[in-house]
């Protein structure tokens, strides 16, 4: 691919993004937590549950880019303060979305990883701003974007000086309606051919179906992803956002018990 001066595989072997000791690109890293931060009880109960189940980082949106302007938009600063509290209690680094270039510097005071959502993948002023930040960036694939467009967006961030970029395949729009999006699992080995950046998958927004999350998570381990980001809510039926696809802590914990052994099994396969 042309013009990928910094993200191309040719420039270096593999990038490992170190977030407070969690190494994305080395181990299979699991980021879990609610879609949005809703209350202290919701966040802390969920955070402790995902930590106990073996998650490596906590996710939670304080700014929610919703399809409808009337849907819950997130708690903003109050949400970030709750994430700070959850981090203090659990030790889990925080992954949270930033939607406006003007917010990057102060959101970065609360976030260990700045998430760029699918709807903002090509928001170039936002990309340039997170490129100036010292925080790692989780760049989700635009739901209508090619691998080339996606990698060019990562190039924007690296070209501003920030090389701590993690890519996230979160499903693309196809003609299929049974699932919310179509998880492009082939994006994982394709990105590994094209770039040195780590790539994780999002089984929640790609499927939009609770019943498919565990199988897609197992598949992501098998296809060589560097981790996943998954939504868990202590009481999914009460969630203000993405209620139909949030795992309960119990289901998440069961899934984690199957994921780790699969990873070790694959690590022990003979090298091709
Ligand atoms: C999210 O992770 O909360 C989210 C909104 O994801 P996406 O941008 O992939 O839809
Ligand atoms: Mn969500």
Task: Tell the residue nearest (CA) to atom 8 of ligand 1.
Answer: 117
Q: Are 37 and 74 in contact (CB under 8 A)?
A: yes
Q: What pLDDT is attached to residue 204? A: 98
What confidence score (pLDDT) does residue 161 get?
Answer: 98
Distance 190 CA to ligand 2 centre (A): 25
Q: Which of 242, 270, 245, 272 is nearest to 36 (CA)?
A: 242
Mutation to probe ligand 1, out of 37, 71, 117 (largest number of atoms < 8 A from CB): 117
Q: Name the residue at shortest CA distance from atom 4 of ligand 1.
A: 117
DSSP 35-88: SB---HHHHHHHHHHHHHHT-SEEE-BSS---SSTTS----THHHHHHHHHHHH
Select from 66, 140, 231 the residue to mutate for testing ligand 1; criterion: most ligand atoms less than 8 Å from CB.
140
Residues 6 or more apart whose CB falls under 8 angstroms from that of 27 comprise 56, 227
The whole-number pLDDT of residue 142 equals 98
Long-range Cβ contact pairs of 250-257 (< 8 A, separation 24 or more) = 251/210, 251/214, 252/32, 252/49, 252/50, 252/53, 252/55, 253/49, 253/52, 253/53, 253/54, 254/214, 255/213, 255/214, 255/217, 256/30, 256/53, 256/54, 256/55
- How far is C-alpha 30 from the chain's CA centre? 9
Query: Would you give per-residue pLDDT tens digits along the chain (272 residues)?
Result: 888 999 999 999 999 999 999 999 998 999 999 999 999 999 999 999 999 999 999 999 999 999 999 999 999 999 999 999 999 999 999 999 999 999 999 999 999 999 999 999 999 999 999 999 999 999 999 999 999 999 999 999 999 999 999 999 999 999 999 999 999 999 999 999 999 999 999 999 999 999 999 999 999 999 999 999 999 999 999 999 999 999 999 999 999 999 999 999 999 999 87
Task: Compute the distance from residue 52 Cα to the ligand 1 centre, in Å.
Answer: 24
How many CB atoms sit inside 10 A of residue 103's CB? 19
- Please tell me the number of the ligand nearest to residue 181's CA: 1
With a 6 A CB cut-off, is 51 part of the ligand 1 pocket? no
Q: What would the two tokens of residue 209 be? A: 């179906």
Give the pLDDT score at 272: 73
Q: In Å, what is the CA distance from 261 to each residue of 72, 232, 265, 268? A: 38, 21, 6, 11
């Amino acid at each position: 691919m042309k013009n990928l001066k910094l993200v191309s595989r040719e420039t270096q072997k593999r990038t490992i993004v170190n977030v407070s000791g969690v190494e994305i690109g080395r181990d299979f890293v699991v980021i879990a937590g609610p879609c949005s931060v809703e209350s202290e009880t919701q966040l802390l109960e969920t955070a402790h549950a995902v930590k106990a189940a073996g998650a490596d980082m906590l996710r939670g949106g304080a700014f929610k880019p919703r399809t409808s302007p009337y849907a819950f938009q997130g708690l903003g600063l109050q949400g970030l303060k709750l994430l700070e509290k959850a981090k203090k209690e659990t030790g889990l680094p925080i992954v949270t979305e930033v939607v406006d270039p003007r917010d990057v510097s102060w959101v970065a005071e609360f976030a260990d990883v700045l998430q760029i959502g699918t709807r903002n993948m090509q928001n170039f002023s936002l990309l340039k701003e997170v490129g100036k930040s010292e925080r790692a960036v989780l760049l989700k694939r635009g739901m209508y974007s090619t691998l080339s467009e996606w990698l060019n967006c990562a190039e924007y961030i690296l070209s501003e000086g920030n090389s701590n970029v993690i890519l996230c395949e979160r499903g693309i729009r196809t003609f299929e309606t049974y699932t919310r999006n179509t998880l492009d699992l082939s994006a994982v080995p394709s990105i590994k051919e094209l770039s040195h950046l780590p790539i994780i998958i999002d089984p929640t927004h790609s499927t939009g179906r609770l019943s498919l999350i565990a199988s897609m998570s197992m598949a992501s381990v098998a296809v060589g992803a560097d981790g996943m980001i998954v939504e868990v809510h202590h009481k999914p039926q009460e969630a203000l956002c993405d209620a139909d696809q949030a795992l309960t802590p119990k289901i998440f914990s069961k899934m984690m018990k199957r994921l780790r052994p699969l990873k070790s099994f694959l690590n022990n396969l003979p090298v091709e």
